[in-house]
Structure 1
Amino acid sequence: MSFLLVFWTFTIGALLFGWRAGSSIDRQIVALISTALALSTLAELMVGISGSFIWKAGIDSALLIAVGWLALRTDRYWPLWFAGLQLAAVLTSLSALLMSEGNRWIFQTLGGFWAIPALVVMCIGLAKDRLAKISVAD
């Protein structure tokens, strides 16, 4: 339970930092991440953990496409790194389709793991942009 508290505290803090420190494109990405997080949580609440992995894989795939599209339209590097880590999450989650029902949770957990380094990359990238005065919040 303490891991979940730390995870949610970090996630909410990272998203708030991203919103406050980012430019308009950065904020679009933060909004996409927040929407994907809300939809994934809703899917888990509605159909349970074991039944939500297909929904989460779809949500993660949509997030990957949207962030990848925005990453190609910005001069910042962190969205590209974020998209790469999101790709790892999607591939890990989709590999759960190849697993038996009893072992799917392993790949679901590994797919969720990639959220942590992706958010760390976002925070570090935004902090470096602010220090370099590349990103001035619009």
Structure 2
Amino acid sequence: MTPHLYWTILTLTCLYAGIAGGSDERSVAIVCLVASVVTAFVLSPWGHRYSQLEAGEMVVDLAVFASFVLVALRSDRFWPLWIAGLQLTSSLAHLMKGMNLDLVPQAYAAATKFWSYPILLIVIIGTWRRQQRVRREHRTHTA
């Protein structure tokens, strides 16, 4: 997918989570946004990108994983566990590259980025479900 599409989906997800989400949704959206911006600055130059271990991106991915685990541990919802697991999968791509430096750069890049889209989808679903839950609770209390 194109970078423009990713940034559009990320922006819309963050806006939606910021407006309609609870603390879990907002926290995860902020982590996704900050990590995406930081990653853009720590990647190797285009000609060498993903041909070697992307140490800066690895640090960002591990910090994101730790953040998602913290959200999952304090949350009373199940969806944060899914995003922590998906982020772990992305983080393991760096281990794969570290173990096999001959790993094709396109495969390494895809392995680190693929799960970003399902993570954003889960944030959207989590936010939508929170909205539904809040509406149900509001109807119950006003009825």
- Normalising by the smaller structure, the TM-score range is 0.7 to 0.9
Structure 1 alignment gaps of length 5 or more:
none
Tell me if the contact between 2:97 and 2:103 (Cα under 8 Å) persists in the aligned partners: no
Instruction: Provide, for residues 81-103 of structure 1, a one-character-per-residue CA deviation record: whole Å limited to 9, x for no partner.
Output: 11111111111232111223462
Residue aligning to 2:116: 115
Instruction: Provide, for residues 10-31 of structure 1, a one-character-per-residue CA deviation record: whole Å limited to 9, x for no partner.
Output: 1211122122221134322222
With the length of structure 1 as denominator, give the TM-score of the two structures.
0.83
1:94 to 2:95 alignment:
yes
Residue aligning to 1:18: 17
Residue aligning to 2:141: none
Deviates further, 20-29 or 59-68: 20-29
Instruction: Work out the CA distance in 1 between the residues paired with 2:96 and 2:130.
Output: 35
Tell me if the contact between 2:53 and 2:98 (Cα under 8 Å) persists in the aligned partners: no
Instruction: Work out the CA distance in 2 between the residues paired with 1:28 and 1:121.
Output: 13
The structure-2 alpha-carbon separation of the partners of 1:22 and 1:101, relative to structure 1 and needing over 3 Å to count, comes to same
* CA RMSD, 1 decimal: 2.2
Task: Kindly name which structure, 1 or 2, has the bigger radius of gyration based on alpha carbons.
Answer: 2
Tell me if the contact between 1:39 and 1:59 (Cα under 8 Å) persists in the aligned partners: yes
Instruction: Work out the CA distance in 2 between the residues paired with 1:70 and 1:86.
Output: 13
Structure 2 alignment gaps of length 5 or more:
138-143
Instruction: Work out the CA distance in 2 between the residues paired with 1:18 and 1:122.
Output: 7
- How high is the sequence identity, in percent, across the aligned residues? 24
Q: Deviation of residue 121 (structure 1)?
A: 0.9
Aligned residues, how many?
A: 132
1:28 to 2:22 alignment:
no
After TM superposition, the structure 1 = structure 2 runs for residues 63-82 of structure 1, keeping only pairs within 5 Å, are 63-82=64-83
The structure-2 alpha-carbon separation of the partners of 1:67 and 1:102, relative to structure 1 and needing over 3 Å to count, comes to closer
Instruction: Provide, for residues 118-137 of structure 1, a one-character-per-residue CA deviation record: whole Å limited to 9, x for no partner.
Output: 11111111111211228x9x
Secondary structure class of the residue paired with 1:72: helix
Tell me if the contact between 1:53 and 1:108 (Cα under 8 Å) persists in the aligned partners: no
Q: What is the identity, as a one-letter code, of the residue corresponding to 1:38?
A: V
Residue aligning to 1:43: 42
Q: What is the identity, as a one-letter code, of the residue corresponding to 2:15?
A: L
Q: What is the identity, as a one-letter code, of the residue corresponding to 1:11?
A: L
